[in-house]
Amino acid sequence: MARSHGTPAHRVASAAELEDDWFGGDQTVGITAGASVPETLVEEVADFLRERFGAEVGEDAGGFREEVFFPLPIELREEQKAV
C-alpha cells in the first residue's frame, strides 16, 4: 500500500534485517505487524530505531489504536481452569 503511494516500504522478519540507509533525516516511520507476529519482534524494531537514531516511539501516532482481543478456544480455557 505504501509503495503504491510513493512511500518506501520494507517487509522484514526481524530487526536484524533493517538497514541504516533506509532511514534518514527527520522522518516518520510506521511499523505494522500482523496479529500472529509476537510483540517482542515489534519491540525489537522499535528498539533498533531508538538506539540507532534516537527515535521517539509511540503506539498511537496516527490517532487509531486497534484493540482486538482473541479469546482462547473453549477447550483451552477449560484446561486452564483445571490447573
Task: Please provide the average confidence, as pLDDT, over all residues in the chain.
Answer: 85
- Residue 7 amino acid letter: T
pTM of the model: 0.67
Q: Is the dihedral of CA 29, 30, 33, 37 positive or negative?
A: positive
- pLDDT of residue 49 exceeding 80, the answer is yes
pLDDT attached to residue 82: 78
Which tens digit of pLDDT belongs to each residue from 55-73?
988 876 566 666 777 788 8
Residue 31 in grid coordinates:
511499523
pLDDT attached to residue 11: 93
- Domain parsing of the chain, residue ranges: 3-61
